[in-house]
Amino acid sequence: MSAPISATLIPGDGIGPEIVDATLAAFDALGVSFNWDIQQAGLAGVKAAGDPLPPAVLDSIRRTRLALKGPLETPSGGGYRSSNVRLREEFKLYANVRPAKTMIPGGRFDNIDLMVYRENLEGLYMGYEHYIPMDGDPEAIAIATGVNTRQGSHRLLQYAFEHAIANGRKKIAVVHKANIMKALTGIFLDEARKMYKEKYEGKIEMQEVIIDACCMKLVINPWQFDCLVTTNLFGDILSDLVAGLIGGLGMAPGANIGQDAAIFEAVHGSAPDIAGKGIANPVALMLAAAMMLDHLKMHDKATRLRTSILDTFNVDNVRTGDLGGKANCKEFTAALVSRIRNG
Ligand code: NAD
C-alpha cells in the first residue's frame, strides 16, 4: 500500500453515491489509499447544508487540490446555478479532457479512440443570461451573452496541443462555428491557427471543422478524427455524442484540469430515471478514477484498472444493463474487484 493521498470526495446526487461506492471498491482492490474528505454538493448539499455548493466543499478542494466527484443535479429552467460550473470557475479548471475509447468490440462503431478537449470556463455555456420585458410579459425576450477571450482560448488550446502530442496523437481538429459566430468562435479559431503555425506545425496535423458538419462526420465516419478541441458549449454536446459512439454515457470519463486543482468525474449526470435502482454503470466514474491515477503518476495502477474493466467486460462477460448485460452495479463491481485482485 502506498501512503494515503488527501483528496476531496463528493458522492453527488442520483446515481452518484452508488457509482462512487463502486469506484472506492476498485481503489481498495488496487491497493491505492486515499485520505478522503467527504463533502456534499448539488441537491445533497442543499439537503445537508441548505446550499448546492457549501463553503466547506470549496475549503476542502482548496486544501487537497484534488477531487473525485459524482454528478451534481442542476434544476432546468429556474433554480440554482450549476455547482459544476461554479466549481470549474472557482478553481479555474480551464481544460475539460474527455476521452472516448471502445472497450467492448463488435458494436455499431468499433475501434473508436477519440479525445475531446473542451474549453471549460468561457463561451455561451456560462449562462450569462437575462430577460427583457415586452407587452406586459416580463420574460418576452431571452438574451444570452457568450464570452470567449484570446487568453482563455490560448490556455485551452495550448493544453490540448501539448497533451495530444505528449500522448502520441497524430491529428487535432479545431471545431468552431466561425462562419456564423465570427467573433465568438472566430477568436478561438484564429488563436488555434496562430498557435499551430508558431509552435506545433510539423509536430501534429491540425484540421478545421465547423461544428454542425463535425457532428455529421462523427456519426458517418468517426475514424477520420483523432482529437477534437473546441469551445465550451460545443464541447459539452460533442462529448455526449462521442460517448454515444462507445456505448453511451456509462462509458465516458472526464477530467477538469486547472493550474491549482483537478476534479475528476463522469461525463454523465445524476441519471434521475435510474437513480435508486442499483443498475447504474459505474465504469465512467471508474475511468475518471483511472485518469486521476494517471494525474498522480500512478500509471501502473491506472493501467491495471483499465485492463481489469476490459477483462470484466470481454473475458468474464459481465456488463450492466445499459451495455446489454444483466449485472447490476454491485454485481459488476464484485466481478471487477475479483479481476483486479486475481488478474
Ligand atoms: P444524464 O447524463 O443524467 O442521463 C442521460 C441518460 O443516460 C439517462 O437515460 C440516464 O439513465 C443514462 N445514464 C447516465 N449515466 C448512466 C450510467 N452511469 N449508467 C447507465 N445509464 C446512465 O443526463 P440528464 O438526465 O440530462 O441530467 C440529469 C441531471 O444531471 C441534471 O440535473 C443535469 O444538470 C445533471 N448533470 C450533471 C453533470 C455533472 O455533474 N458533471 C453532467 C451532466 C448532467
Q: ipTM, 2 decimals?
A: 0.98
- The C-alpha atoms of residue 156 and residue 174 are separated, in whole angstroms, by 12
62-103: pLDDT as tens digits: 999 999 999 999 999 888 989 999 999 999 999 999 999 999
Beta-sheet strands, E only, within the chain: 5-10, 34-38, 66-69, 95-101, 113-119, 123-134, 137-147, 171-176, 205-210, 227-230, 253-257, 262-266
Residue 28 resides in a domain: yes
Residues framing ligand 1 (Cβ under 6 A): 15, 71-74, 84, 249-250, 265, 268-274, 280-281, 284, 322
Query: Which residue among 73, 270, 320, 329 has the greatest number of ligand 1 atoms within 8 angstroms of its CB, and so is best to mutate?
Result: 270
CA angle 234, 239, 242 (to 5 degrees): 125
CB 149 within 8 A of CB 187: yes
From residue 120, give the alpha-carbon distance in Å to each of 87, 216, 296, 333, 335.
Answer: 11, 24, 21, 31, 35
Whether residue 4 is predicted with pLDDT greater than 90 in this model: the reply is no
What is the CATH classification number for the domain harbouring 32?
3.40.718.10
Question: Would residue 144 count as lying in a domain?
Answer: no
Would you say residue 24 lies in a domain?
yes
2 confidence band (pLDDT: 50, 70, 90):
low
Domains in the chain, number: 1
CA distance 339 to 323: 19
Atom of ligand 1 nearest to the CA of 266: 41
Classify residue 322 by its DSSP letter: G
- C-alpha radius of gyration, the chain, whole number: 20
For 13, the grid coordinates are: 446526487
Q: Ligand 1 center to residue 78 CA distance, Å? A: 18
Residue 139 lies in a domain: no
**From ligand 1's centre to the CA of 267, what distance in Å?**
8
104 falls within a domain:
no
Quote the percentage of the chain above a pLDDT of 70: 99
In a domain, 158, yes or no: no
Find the mean pLDDT for residues 2-30.
95
Q: Which domain holds residue 335?
A: 1-91+260-343
Amino acid (1-letter code) at residue 15 = I
When pLDDT is averaged across residues 19-35 and rounded to a whole number, the result is: 97
Residue 271 lies in a domain: yes
Q: Which atom of ligand 1 is nearest to the CA of 71?
A: 40
Integer Cα distance of 89 and 305 in angstroms? 30
How far is the centre of ligand 1, averaged over its atoms, from the C-alpha of 323 (Å)?
Answer: 16
Confidence of residue 34 (pLDDT cuts 50, 70, 90): very high
For 216, the grid coordinates are 455529421
| pLDDT recorded at residue 25 | 98
DSSP 191-223: HHHHHIIIIIBTTBEEEEEEHHHHHHHHHH-GG
**Residue 37 is assigned to a structural domain of this protein:** yes
